[in-house]
């Protein structure tokens, strides 16, 4: 694609984050399915099955919290515990319409607006026909939610926006060219990206089954039950379903760009020789999940050439009530021009422009800088904090990351050690005191014959082994991969 690059709207970014947070890995999820059933702590709904949900807390159009349901608590309840009165005037983006238990508390906290994904709600209406009592309870809760909505000051609504023109195509093109995918491709005998195409199709199929309702009549029935009967008539209904499908496609495409593939992951060779908690890497599934968050942020970039996203998380000493375990959100950002500036205020040219005065590099704020500047929590020296960046941090950002007290960096290293016309990446390799986990082959299994055999790819077109067999084999070879 040429010309000005398309961007995700903030509303769609928050919506995608809520869906992605529903899939946040947890110890319980590794044993069970990703959409886990919980029990409501209410007598009349004690047997009601509740779907896990993700939640994004936004204040002044900036993310201040990322949460998901835990074994004991719903996402809305967790937000109340974590933010308290800080929820006042916030916007909440749910991956499912919240139940009455959550809604009454967050409305009471004075939130400004509650947006939700218009599919199966938190208390599922897609239940087995063999259990009509469960369906009745779900309908009763849906009615209670509507009454709470009608009598509260908070706006409870669906905020879905159509993707800008060519957005889906742009995401697919840039994901295929993403450093992580290209690094895997170069390790293959034929250097192609067929494995990415296969992985993307798997993610599309998986996420469509999770977040979409395939049967149109079932979808209409659910919409009418949760108070969205106005969306059941065409063209509104068909437009809604298309917008939902487009967003799920974007999510699957981005998720596939940080794939589960053979022995690739985020590794630091020095971490194999130390037991210090600050130098121990995260489980690979969590590291990938957080990097995909950063990838989503990159599609808000104001840089025409290179979109970069960064997100900071930290880890408490013990597990909290959140579905994210001991981890909590600190801040996030993407590369952009100074806040309040207009499109023509600053140059947008890169190093191909001979006149250095009209190049962008002295004006653009880097993703890491924005994540640090607009963080909602302080970085505590006694906790493990980590930043996930979609590109190698440059020499301008490395000292900031270290000075802020961040303990770990997760990034690609394609540009490490390079010096370009207006930007250099020399300090990343020399950085001490901060653990660096880069996208690479696990040092413990670089000689694994089944990885180098193109017929044994985990997501490849030419594989002869089943996916389960290959994953099992990788686990045996890649000790410590998960």
Look up the pTM and report it: 0.87
pLDDT for residue 278 is more than 60: yes
Q: Which of 22, 122, 302, 368 is catalytic?
A: 368
- For 396-403, the CB contacts below 8 A with 24+ separation are 396/366, 396/369, 396/423, 397/366, 397/368, 397/369, 398/427, 398/428, 398/431, 399/427, 400/368, 400/369, 400/372, 401/368, 401/372, 401/434, 402/431, 402/433, 402/434
Per-residue pLDDT for 451 more than 50?
no
Say which residue, 345 or 239, is predicted with more confidence.
Answer: 239
pLDDT band (50, 70, 90) for residue 28: low
- Mean pLDDT, rounded, of the chain: 85
316 is catalytic: no
What the block records as the tokens of 476 is 């045996």
Residue 466 has pLDDT above 50, yes or no: no
Domains, the chain, ordered by start: 167-255 (no CATH), 262-443 (3.40.140.10)
pLDDT surpasses 70 at 45: no
Dump pLDDT digits (tens) for 344-393: 656 565 655 555 556 666 778 999 999 999 999 999 999 999 999 999 99
pLDDT at 450: 42
Nearest Cα to 309, choosing from 389, 418, 213, 229?
A: 389
Q: Above pLDDT 70, what percent of the chain?
A: 79
Give the pLDDT of residue 136. Answer: 83
């Amino acid at each position: 694609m040429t010309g000005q690059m398309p961007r995700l709207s903030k509303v769609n970014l928050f919506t995608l984050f809520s869906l992605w947070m529903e899939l946040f890995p947890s110890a319980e999820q590794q044993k069970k399915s990703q959409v886990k059933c919980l029990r409501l702590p209410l007598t009349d709904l004690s047997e009601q099955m509740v779907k896990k949900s993700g939640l994004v807390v936004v204040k002044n159009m900036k993310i201040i919290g990322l949460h998901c349901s835990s074994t004991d608590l719903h996402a809305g309840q967790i937000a109340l515990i974590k933010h308290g009165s800080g929820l006042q005037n916030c916007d909440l983006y749910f991956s499912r319409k919240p139940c009455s238990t959550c809604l009454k508390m967050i409305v009471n906290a004075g939130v400004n607006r509650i947006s939700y994904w218009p599919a199966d709600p938190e208390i599922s209406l897609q239940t087995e026909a063999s259990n009509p009592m469960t369906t009745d309870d779900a309908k009763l809760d849906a009615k209670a939610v509507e009454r709470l909505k009608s009598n509260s000051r908070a706006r409870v609504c669906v905020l879905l926006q159509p993707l800008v023109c060519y957005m889906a195509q742009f995401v697919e093109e840039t994901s295929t060219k993403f450093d992580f995918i290209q690094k895997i491709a170069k390790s293959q005998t034929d250097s192609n990206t067929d494995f990415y195409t296969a992985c993307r199709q798997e993610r599309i199929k998986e996420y469509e089954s999770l977040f979409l309702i395939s049967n149109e009549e079932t979808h209409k029935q659910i919409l009418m039950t949760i108070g969205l009967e106005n969306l059941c008539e065409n063209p509104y209904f068909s437009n809604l379903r298309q917008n939902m499908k487009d967003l799920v496609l974007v999510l699957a495409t981005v998720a596939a760009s940080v794939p589960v593939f053979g022995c690739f992951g985020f590794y630091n060779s020095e971490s194999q020789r130390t037991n210090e908690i600050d130098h121990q890497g995260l489980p690979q599934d969590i590291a990938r999940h957080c990097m995909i968050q950063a990838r989503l942020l990159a599609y808000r970039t104001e840089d025409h050439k290179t979109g970069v996203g960064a997100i900071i998380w930290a880890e408490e000493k013990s597990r909290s009530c959140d579905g994210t375990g001991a981890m909590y959100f600190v801040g996030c950002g993407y590369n952009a021009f100074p806040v309040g500036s207009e499109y023509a205020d600053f140059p947008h040219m890169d190093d191909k422009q001979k006149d250095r005065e009209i190049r962008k590099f002295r004006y653009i704020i880097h993703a890491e800088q924005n994540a640090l500047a607009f963080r909602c929590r302080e970085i505590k020296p006694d906790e493990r904090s980590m930043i996930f960046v979609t590109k190698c941090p440059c020499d301008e950002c490395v000292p900031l990351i270290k000075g802020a007290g961040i303990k770990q960096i997760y990034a690609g290293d394609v540009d490490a050690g390079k010096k370009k016309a207006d930007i250099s990446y020399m300090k990343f390799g020399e950085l001490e005191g901060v653990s660096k986990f880069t996208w690479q082959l696990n040092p413990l299994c670089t000689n694994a014959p089944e990885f180098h055999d193109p017929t044994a790819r985990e997501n490849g077109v030419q594989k002869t082994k089943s996916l389960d067999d290959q994953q099992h084999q990788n686990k045996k070879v890649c000790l410590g991969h998960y």
